Amino acid sequence: MPELPEVETVRVTLENEIRNEIIVGLDLYYSKIIKNELEWFIYSITNQKIHRIDRMGKYLIFILDAYAMIIHLRMEGKFYIKTDEPIDKHEHVVFHFKSGRNLRYHDVRKFGTITLLNINTYLDEYPLIQLGREPKNLDFHHFFEMIKNKKTTIKQVLLDQHIVAGLGNIYVDETLFLSQIHPTRIASSITIKEAEIIIESARQVLEKAIELGGTTIRSYTSSLGVHGRFQNELNVHMKKGEPCPVCKTEIIKIKVGGRGTYVCPKCQH
């Protein structure tokens, strides 16, 4: 699944390619991806100019003339820019531009979502209103107050987008490794000092991953052939059986909240 750094890479790549394009038509091959009434969506988006592309957490936000188009890529959503090539069976939404090019949304699992909202109110509506802050904007005191009574594991808390926006499985594993905190720790046991360490570690991990274009693992690659390089910097994620980069203890894989989780049993006691 693309996480915050991968989505940021997609944002930058797309904005460089399609900024100032004008949408003149739309083809839908799997309409359930659109979360608005379809006739209204098609009518409203026609002749809208793409002024820029923003991001909040894992959501892409296409800023148009009168609307904000909110897109979540979910597990395997991707974008491709094409002209006259035949439609691929996994290309479900095609935006036609005045320039003759088109932007195609490709999603093997069909889990992605596209929502069109008023440009003046989109930040106060679902889905963005539900998001917590990203680590770069999250004060550790505020984070501590949110988790101090939580009886779930610290990993599950960090994956909760209502609490911290943008962290997914890869970057939570890496954050907790840098923090030297075991992922099965109950969140209410985290001290305020540990909360500070977690937030600072999350910032470091995400900043480095964004710098390197995200992580290319399994089915995820960015749009337009952009591949991340952060997989070369991973300390524990996907490293089962390999030595810990700090203490050389063998990294193990466990399940936390149903998610595969990589841990150094010595550093993260």
Which positions of the chain have pLDDT values less than 70?
A: 1, 213-232
Q: What is the pLDDT of residues 82-135, one digit of tens each?
A: 988 899 999 999 999 999 999 999 999 999 999 999 999 999 999 999 999 999
In whole angstroms, give the CA distance from residue 225 to residue 143: 36
State the pLDDT at residue 225: 58
**115 Cβ partners below 8 Å, 6+ apart?**
34, 35, 36, 69, 70, 71, 127
**80 Cβ partners below 8 Å, 6+ apart?**
91, 103, 104, 106, 223, 224
4-130: CATH homologous superfamily?
MutM-like, N-terminal (3.20.190.10)
Local structure of 163: helix, strand or coil: coil
Q: 140 — phi, psi (to 5°)?
A: -65, -25
CATH number listed for the domain at residues 135-263: 1.10.8.50
Buried residues in 178-209 as b, exposed as e (16+ CB within 10 A): bbebbbbbebeebeeebbbbbbebbbebbeeb
State the pLDDT at residue 210: 87
Catalytic residues: 2-3, 58, 259
State the pLDDT at residue 1: 62
State the pLDDT at residue 84: 84
State the pLDDT at residue 3: 81
Place of tokens 């930058």: 12
Residue ranges of domains in the chain: 4-130, 135-263
Assess whether the region 4-130 and the region 135-263 belong to the same CATH fold. no
